[in-house]
Amino acid sequence: MILTTKNCTHLAAKLAKFKRAALLKYQVKQFADGEYYYRLHYSKKPKTITLLANITPDPGSLFELLALAQAAQDSGIIIGTLCIPYLGYSRQDRQSARGEAVMARMIANTVNHIPAQRRIFIDLHSDAVRAMFAPHDEIFCLPFITQALFAEGVDVVVAPDKGATARARQVAGDAPVIVMLKHRPRHNVVGRVHMLYPVQGKRVLMVDDMIDTGRTIASAARVLKKQGAESIIVAATHGVFSAPSYKILSAAPIDKILVSDTLSPRAPLHARVVSIARHLSAAL
């Protein structure tokens, strides 16, 4: 059976079909003082479950995951696999200014205490984050998301910053890889280092692990288009698409955006959501 937090029901429903598994239902309510109450509902208690949950910026997402894990544990149900498709706070993986909380470490320490036999993540943000977790498996979905694009024709794969270099090389195959340079003068602001890139007349595929505000890929796309790129397609695993992204991306010279359904699709009009449910079900 699959037990899922509310923010992952869209993916859990697809997985249940591929795995021919049932979804384990549960009740949530609040008492008068605001305390939450969780109760699993089943006619026949499952021996083992898959627990599926996204950890988003909302602290309630982590609380719900922990509550469901506790309900399973207290009911004598084994969590065979804990799968976290999207791991929020993973960009806060180091202390860049004195006094900062390394939020990724806090999340990892908490998740590591969930008594799961196996842990699966999808396209984690960095090696620093990977090192914070107990032994786990990671599924890389970008090659799956982009495979059809190479049949249509891709001349060059672009990493919009150094952090996306490994992903670009993983996807590229025999195609050349370009790594662009950027700097952040402050949070949510992207600056570009002036460089010439060999993209004149090229069909460009730009890849990253997530699209949040869209500033990184929009600034990269403007540079590439100015330098003569014929077309620009962007592919990312996690489509966060926070509020500013709709305006930022619609103004950018991007022909198409592909994202997976790790998060509930809220993609802009010119973006396409590629389901990874079949790909993920094979690993569960």
Catalytic positions, written as ranges: 182
- CA 110 to chain CA centroid, nearest Å: 19
Q: Tokens 């670009």 identify what position?
A: 168
- Structure tokens that stand for 106 in this block: 């806090």
Between CA 22 and CA 90 the distance in angstroms is 31
Rounded to a whole number of angstroms, the CA Rg of the chain reads 20
Q: Of 77, 88, 81, 93, give the one whose Cα is nearest residue 55.
A: 88
Q: Tokens 């996690």 identify what position?
A: 238
Strands 116-122 and 137-139: parallel
Name the percent of the chain in helix, strand, coil, to the closest 5. Answer: 30, 25, 40
Q: Residue 253, exposed/middle/buried by CB under 10 A (0-12, 13-18, 19+)? A: middle
Between CA 264 and CA 238 the distance in angstroms is 10
Axis-axis angle for helices 142-152, 165-172 (nearest 10): 50
Taking a C-beta distance cutoff of 8 angstroms, is the pair 190, 219 a contact? yes
**Residues 6, 11, 17, 19, CA torsion sign:** negative
Terminal-residue alpha carbon distance, the chain: 12
